[in-house]
Structure formats: C-alpha cells, structure tokens
Amino acid sequence: MKPFCSKFFILAGFLLLINNLYAQVLSFHHGEVEFYTETVMSDIEAVTKTAVVKLDIQTGNFEATVNIQSFEFEYDVMQKHFNENHMESDKFPQATFKGKIVQNISNITDEMEVDAIGKMTIHGVSNEIKVKVNISEKEGYTVVQCKIPVVFKDYKVEEPSILSKSVAKDVLINVSVYLK
C-alpha cells in the first residue's frame, strides 16, 4: 500500500471516530404513543408501544415514525374500522413527524420545555406543526413527552357520514418515549 493511501485511511478513520464522539443520536428504547378522542357514544383510545424515534442532541433534529396498524384498541372492531375505513392503513401504513427542536438541548440537566417545529405526515398528507415538548433525564434515559392535537380534516381523514354527529372531529396524541 502506498504511503499516501495508508495516511488517508488513518486520517479518515480518525475523523469518523471524532464525529461519532460528538454526534449523539438517541433512539427509541421504550415508551408509548397514545391517541384519545371523546365521542357522544364512547371515548376512543388506542396505544402503540412501538415506534422509531431518533433525536440528535447536538443539532435538535428528530424523526419519529409510527406504524398505523400497531395501534391497539380496546375492541377489535374499533381497530378494524380505524385501519380500514378511516386511516386506510394498507395505503398509508405510517405516520411521521420530522423536524427540529428550536432550543439548544445539548446539555439537558433538568426538565426543559422546548419548542419543536416540523412536518407531520398522516394519511399521506403533510402539515407544518409547532408543539411544546418536555425533555428530561431520568434513570439514564432522555425522556421526551408532548401532546399533539390533530384535526382529522387537516389530514383528509374522512369521518363516517352516518355517524358525523357522534364521532369527534379531532384527536389528541400523547407521546411519552424513553431514548438512549
């Protein structure tokens, strides 16, 4: 091997090592994403404990992806209607939120309330949103919690016309995830 090539590989390896030391990207370890809505007939709640979440502590960039079919309901019939009639989860299998935390979070010591801005995509429709996020350190994890109000019509999720007076027009998404 020529001296130039070996020096290049040593330098490249060193730069990659330094980059990995400074880049601190946290990933989903455990937690849940829940949505809740009130209706005249009954309240509807569903939870998933699977998500793909990444947060770069240095830049504040984040991504979150949830498989729509992973939401579990109290009744199987609710889950079936949700996936087939409302979310069309065969056609639109994921919901995503990609964006950035505005404030510097590179040194989290106590609980911080920060602003996150980004693009949420549900049912194939993307909208810019801004949300308040609580970030804290607990037992070796970075904990991210927020509440995101979603209006169905903003994402072209159709409500059943026969039940339009008994079905809520929006939903509250509660996120509580532990990153490591």
According to the model, what pLDDT value does residue 85 have? 86
Q: How far is it, in rounded angstroms, from Cα 176 to Cα 180? A: 14
pLDDT along the chain (180 residues), means of 10: 53 46 81 88 89 96 97 92 91 98 91 97 98 95 96 84 57 96
pTM: 0.82
According to the model, what pLDDT value does residue 170 have? 86
Q: How far is it, in rounded angstroms, from Cα 150 to Cα 157? A: 11
